[in-house]
Amino acid sequence: MPSDLLLRLQRDRDLPDRDWTTLLREGAPNLAALADQKRRAVYGNKVFIRGLIEFTNICKNDCLYCGIRRSNGTVTRYRLEEGQILSCCQKGYELGFRTFVLQGGEDAFWTDEKLCALVSRIKSAHPDCAVTLSVGERSRESYRALQNAGADRYLLRHETADNAHYRRLHPPAMDPKNRKRCLWDLKELGYQVGAGMMVGAPFQTVENLIADLRFLRELAPEMIGVGPFIHAPGTPLASYPDGSVALTLRLLSILRLLFPRVLLPATTALGTLSPEGQMDGLRAGANVLMPNLSPPLAKENYMLYENKRTEGTEEGKNLALLKKKVAAAGYRIVTDIGNAAGWEEKGQ
């Protein structure tokens, strides 16, 4: 039987601050089981996979937590060539991936013209696949051009909905209002949009997380990326403790109850902090995994944080192993474009 708290959460899709605090700090009886029930009602036992291609680690930004921030002089910088990216997609396609996620730093080399050409080449080669971009803050016109070139989805974590918290995690040149503006632009343009935050980011309070949940409710994204903060050597926040796996799992369950149709990845960061983290994430309500299709040079140097997992089931090429692991946890990896439930019916 769900507790009164969970019944109210599902009915009102919000709670008084006091109740949010209890739920976030302590969880509630059957929280994960109820979330799992909800995800099964919408997605059955399907798990969607996305092939992640980390195509550049060159970034103009200097986010205080991020291993590939501009000022981290210890990073070997790289940029994949178009041919390498297309060959990652081809290999991924053969393995059964039907979504490619191009993620990278904010790298000025990738102008609209070049990125549009890349997206349209991927779409011509694989018309039955979705292209997701995760390349940071750009103008509305740029997002429109990329969409016209074929981009279907866009991941841009809001990082934290609280402006004061945002400013403690980013240099003065970065403006929380612009990040939110980007998300609203993407939404209005008709992308499937992904927002999200790090759990246990330095200086994060429970009030910040409540603000995040309320912001997400307002934005109503199709995808939500939440993973634990993990300290990154060579950054100003390297000495801060890693986020909590338990709190991340609670948040995944809460998000599934708030957004039954949302595409919710069990992130690599979760798998980095706990060997069973990603399977526990699925059991808590997540329904997406994002194995890595990047070539070794990229994987080794796209180190957002310490000990990022780059082997075993994190590797796209080890999909057979991941399938077994997921099956043992009671779910099933499918070959599917993996849109958010109801997306096609919306006429998008």
The residue (of 107 and 315) whose beta carbon lies closer to ligand SAM is: 107
Query: Which of 176, 178, 259, 266 lies closest to 220, judged by CA?
Result: 259
The residue (of 157 and 214) whose beta carbon lies closer to ligand SAM is: 157
Query: Which of 348, 277, 261 lies closest to 313, judged by CA?
Result: 277
The residue (of 6 and 209) whose beta carbon lies closer to ligand SAM is: 209
Write down the least CB distance from residue 29 to ligand SAM, Å.
30
The residue (of 297 and 321) whose beta carbon lies closer to ligand SAM is: 297
Write down the least CB distance from residue 323 to ligand SAM, Å.
26
Write down the least CB distance from residue 311 to ligand SAM, Å.
19
**SS3 at position 261:** coil
Token couple for 192: 């499937």
The residue (of 161 and 230) whose beta carbon lies closer to ligand SAM is: 230
Task: Classify residue 263 by its DSSP letter.
Answer: B
Q: Which residues share a beta bridge with 155?
A: 194
Distances (CA, A) of 101 to 61, 161, 247, 330: 20, 24, 26, 26
Task: Classify residue 129 by its DSSP letter.
Answer: S
Does residue 159 contact residue 180 with C-beta atoms inside 8 Å? no
Report the C-alpha gap between 267 and 282 in whole angstroms: 10
Q: Considering Cα of 63, then 65, then 66, then 70, what sign does the dihedral take?
A: positive
Q: Which residues share a beta bridge with 47?
A: 333
Write down the least CB distance from residue 44 to ligand SAM, Å.
29
Write down the least CB distance from residue 238 to ligand SAM, Å.
9
End-to-end CA distance of the chain: 37
Query: Which of 146, 141, 86, 144 lies closest to 115, judged by CA?
Result: 146
- Interface residue list for ligand SAM (CB under 6 A): 65-66, 103, 105-106, 134-136, 156-157, 159, 198, 227, 229-230, 232, 269, 304-305
The residue (of 122 and 135) whose beta carbon lies closer to ligand SAM is: 135
Report the C-alpha gap between 309 and 197 in whole angstroms: 20
Write down the least CB distance from residue 198 to ligand SAM, Å.
5
The residue (of 308 and 323) whose beta carbon lies closer to ligand SAM is: 308
Write down the least CB distance from residue 230 to ligand SAM, Å.
4
